Structure 1
């Protein structure tokens, strides 16, 4: 069954249920009100009859109960035109007026109530039909006691025919049936309109979903924040925005991957071509004897370059997929920094750069030794790569439960857009430097960023185009969670 018909059936069931419940309650309430009004009127008749037609006379300390028959006959004639009849009892089974009245069935319980001074109301279901002129008339009546000096002297029963009441109730029932039929028709129409409105909003989401499935992410659904469907539309918009951003990011990463593949192929082709040429020269004795040593050294250098390029890619993948295990310990970072500076001195000299140190005599750091070396080495090497005839300044200091290292260069610097992307895989701030000997893959800073996250540390960069760059690395002191995780 389609959602439209399900919604329509649900709305229709609610409407019809409300109409039926309201109709039943209305009939019951109206019936009670009619009977209560009738009983109130009958009590008024009984009080009038008692006050005008019943006389209590006291003589010789004895009280006698007498009736004014003329008044009773006149009252009987008047009330008979209104289908109202009355009977006067002095005892449960003794009728004193009218004399030919049919004995009514007053139960013991009802008489006990009367002796307590209570008025008894009887509906047609609880009262026998009164036979008059060979006809059975359904009556509702009241039994009201009258006392004098605490003694029960008389009980008057005043009853009215319920034919008029039933006629009115039947007319109301017919009116309610007509109203019910009208309500059913209106309910069907209203249910259809409400269901169609709800389903149209869902269909709008379906159409938008199909558009997104077809690759169109320029979809927007208005949300008025009225109900859960509007909230769903808002969440859908958020999802589409995320998918759109993800598509852009995937495209951007794919472009970088292609660029990297092209760069990597170029970087590998150059040393491989060099190595192949030298090997052929050695194989055919085309290289003079005095140049063979230099050729072998060149092949070793190119081979190391290829190994470094492959290792960087393998390293990045291992770090990204959490396949490496840290072995954190506390060691003197100053010794490590001095060793790195010594290793990179030759490269800095080739770039006409000067490395300056501002470090204490010793500074303990809590980190994985090999990965710490890798982080400092990559950033320092990156500074040398983008600085010519400048200065690289390395400083270290103690922070609050942490060790802080700064590496500042006076190189080309970076723009704001470049700063946003330096941690991205394959990204190169200066694409023109594809053929440099260092940082061939564009993975160095990506690896640094991943390693700092694994150390629960942080790396911050401040740079101005043409004025240089500063990297600040913060390693927290011994972290129990880092030990547990590893």
Structure 2
């Protein structure tokens, strides 16, 4: 999973760019946005949870330990050198690429430390306050990565995309990832939509990642029951500005005890010895929800025990010029 996320944030090749007034303005804008995000993240890591709560749950300590990293990155942006023409654009790009790399590796570094005891303690003490902590942490992390990438790459990340093309890319990515990790590949069946204008305004890699997680979760139930994963795309009847992606697995559904916890960060039914690069971290659905909301969308799930799970991903409709 983390390799997939990392692939969305590859660094761009550095070219020689003169430091013009426009470059300095663009640089200043980025620094201002990042400073705001980093300060919010530092405040979250320092004050969002009571000290006794953090001390009691080691997994929370793995997160709060990132406080110093964000302080160091904030210091780099506030050192007063970045707006000088003597500070070359190549040096600036190297700095923000380094910061981008740190964002990519955060999840991986946390999950390398997690033990079954850590997961159990978190599950036993999980609360709305802890859930809000995780949601805000990952929203800030994604926002920082987005701003860094927006600066590095010439093409905007937030664009209008053909909805079916995004689904096709997600199906292809899922099939490749499952094959690489020795998992069976399910059958996919895309149900035709009647709406002619099925474009969405989104960050395509985010949406591909969401669908990869949804398809991955639906794989074994679908194969076990000999059913394809059904994919529908249509316009929201009650809201013309919204496109809906409906994904149904017909895989028998989940027990109620599991449904209660599926949006809980770091909740997993996978045993420690069963973990692999794409399973067992308990970050799939909760992180997908954060990605969906970051794209001004939503992610909801309907469980029908004995039938299957249906997930609805709603995103803003794209308006083509």
TM-score normalised by structure 2 residue count: 0.47
Greater radius of gyration (CA) = 1
- Which has the higher relative contact order, 1 or 2, with Cα contacts under 8 A spaced 6 or more apart? 2
Q: Which has the higher strand share?
A: 1
TM-score normalised by structure 1 residue count: 0.32
